[in-house]
Amino acid sequence: MTIEVDRDQALLASVRTVAREIAGPNADDVDRSARFPVETIDALREERALSAFVPAELGGGGVSFETLAQCCFELGHHCAASAMVFAMHQIQVVTIVRHLDSGSWFERYLGELAAEQRLIASVTSEVGTGGDMGRSIAAVTPADDGGSSFEKQAPTVSYGEYADDLFTTLRRSPEAEPGDQVVALTRRGQNELKATGTWDVLGMRGTCSPGYVVRSTFPGEQVLGTPFSRVAAESMVPVSHILWSHLWLGIAEDAFDRARAFARAAAKRKPGEPLPVAQRLSRVMSELSLLRAEVDSALRYFLVASAEPGRERLSTLAAALRFNNLKIAASEHAADICRGALDVSGIMGFKNDTPFSVGRHLRDAMSGALMIANERIHETNAGLLLIAKEV
Amino acid sequence: MNDRIRQAIQDHARLPVDVATLADDQDLYTAGMTSHASVNVMLALEDAFDIEFPDRMLKRSVFESIAAISAALTELQPELAA
């Protein structure tokens, strides 16, 4: 137990250092140039952070999920794009670890991921499905050599060009219905990506997420044994929403800190005088408190439900509502808090080159509402609310 | 009871196939029932059998086949099986 705690503390300390000393100083350039945060990801590799959640017996760090979430928060505080790359990679790792069959190809793969610090990107969205991750058009198709292949039209693949491996949702076979999905993990050398667009966007510019046509040929053992419907409910959806929320909270915390620094500077210039900006800051603070509480409560719910035998609770509609609400609340509040911080600091926050700048924070936070569109989640919730009992 | 379950599926599951062709233990999701459609099936079953599924039953595995639905209904209302 002590060893595990030490591991967790050690990882958190090193990720904090990377966030502060590398991610933060490069954040403006990553944003301005819409470039991949290569120095931050390399530094995380040095710290073996990409395999932090891989069990120790497979060569990974064996840290807790809670620590991983905290790492997303720390990175989000300094560079949202770096945090998002880290979070998305960890979503795939956590999902594989939670649905690992012993002796499978995936077990060997995790060992290699740890040894080589391989980076995984996900190919879950698809042109023609209307943003519904629970349906696929592309299918695992038998290839001539006895293996498998697929071709998928992906509207966005975050850091696809920089990833070693791809985590792709597909129909189980060419005959399968759209909802009968599996996940394939395919490696560099097996994948061919052809960009179909550009990535010049408002925020999260460093995630470098244009569309691609993804083609892959791979052995059948690289398909995860557990169906995607179960993987999604028990792991991928809650884990995504929790890790994203932590990094959005990190963005909001930093915007708040900057607004507070501005208010303190203003107070020092005119000691004793009424300070309207401090009252505005207080309003932002109350919203930030709510966001902190929501993010933490969803994490606790997930940890408790994950520890229950069979993780039954995670596959209930009530749990789906719980994590959908986290996603909606966190993405909206984080952007509202950044906007509130701008109201505090005014022109000094609006300018991109002051210690109080929050333009990047606001733009990055606004991406949250689009990552699995909140409107679509509301539509799903509308159905679930009619049938779930205790919400 | 299974006939009434089949009727609810026929009316609300929006399957690409006729429900009469499905075996009792066949996976309805694999047959094409979406999660969105499954909510409507649940509502229709609550109405048809005048019951309420508790949250612990509102999950994929309980609604994945006619047999599974039938087992859940029997648990809620043992007299239905009689």
**C-beta atoms of B58 and A178 within 8 A:** no
Contacting residues of A for B60, CB less than 8 Å apart: 229-230, 233, 315
A237 and A209 together in one domain:
no
Q: In angstroms, rounded to a whole number, what is the distance separating the alpha carbons of residues A328 and A372?
A: 10
**Do both A164 and A286 map to the same domain?**
no
pLDDT at A391: 77
Number of separate domains in chain A? 3
What are the structure tokens assigned to A193, written together?
């990506």
**pLDDT for the residue numbered A5:** 74
Report the CATH number at residue A134: 2.40.110.10
Q: What is the CATH number of the domain that holds A57?
A: 1.10.540.10
The fold of B2-81 is 1.10.1200
Which of B29, B42, B43, B55 would you mutate first to test chain A, the one with the most A CBs within 10 A? B55
Percent of chain A with pLDDT over 70: 99
In angstroms, rounded to a whole number, what is the distance separating the alpha carbons of residues A109 and B19?
42
The alpha carbon of residue B56 is apart from the nearest alpha carbon of chain A, in Å, by 7
Same domain, yes or no: A102 and A247: no
Shared domain check, A70 and A194: no
Read off the tokens for A305: 């439900």
In whole angstroms, what is the distance from residue A299 CA to residue B64 CA? 29
Tell me if B36 and A380 make a contact (CB, 8 A cut-off): yes
**Cα–Cα distance measured from residue A279 to residue A284, given in angstroms and rounded to the nearest whole number:** 9
State whether B59 and A229 contact (CB < 8 Å): no
Q: Which domain holds residue A300?
A: 228-387
CA distance B53 to chain A (A): 8
Residue after which a domain boundary falls, among A118, A138, A173: A118
Say whether both A245 and A351 belong to one domain: yes
Which residue type sits at B29? Y
pLDDT tens digits for A96-125? 999 999 889 999 999 999 999 999 999 999
Contact between A208 and A158 (Cβ < 8 Å) = yes
Nearest Cβ partner of A387 from B31, B42, B61?
A: B42
Domain boundaries, chain B: 2-81
Q: Give the global pTM.
A: 0.95
Q: Are B27 and A360 in contact (CB under 8 A)?
A: no
pLDDT grade, residue B82 (50/70/90)?
Answer: low
Q: Give the full edge-to-edge strand order of the sheet including A120-123.
A: A120-123, A165-171, A181-187
For residue A313, the chain B residues in CB contact (below 8 A) are: 56
- What mean pLDDT value characterizes chain A? 96
What is the complex's ipTM, to 2 decimals?
A: 0.86
Bridge partners of A121, per DSSP, are A166
Is some CB atom of chain B closer than 8 A to the CB atom of A384? Answer: yes
Query: Which domain CATH number covers A258?
Result: 1.20.140.10
Judgement on whether residues A239 and A201 belong to the same structural domain of the protein: no
* Other Cβ atoms closer than 10 A to B1: 16
How far is CA A176 from its chain centroid? 29
Same domain, A319 and A194: no
The one-letter code for the residue type at B48 is: A
Token pair belonging to B45: 């079953």
Tell which B residues from 37 to 56 touch A, by Cβ distance under 8 Å: 39-40, 42-43, 46, 52-56
| Residue A175 touches chain B, beta carbons under 8 Å | no
Q: Which of A18, A56, A59, A57 is nearest to A39 (CA)?
A: A18
Question: What per-residue confidence (pLDDT) applies to A221?
Answer: 96
Tokens 């790359």 belong to residue: A85
Compute the nearest-CA separation of B44 from chain A (Å): 10
Give the Cα separation of B76 and A280 in Å (integer). 54
* Per-residue pLDDT tens over the stretch A22-81: 999 999 999 999 999 999 999 999 999 999 999 999 999 999 999 999 999 999 999 999
A52 shares its domain with A149 = no
Looking at residue A341, its amino acid is A
pLDDT band at B8 (very low <50, low <70, confident <90, very high): very high
- pLDDT digit string (tens) for B27-72? 999 999 988 899 999 999 999 999 999 999 999 999 999 999 999 9
Decide the pairing of beta strands A141-142 and A148-154: antiparallel
CB A81 within 8 A of CB A37: yes
Q: A180 — contact with chain B (CB < 8 Å)?
A: yes
The whole-number pLDDT of residue A4 equals: 66
Parts of chain A with a pLDDT under 50: none
Q: Do A365 and A330 share a structural domain?
A: yes
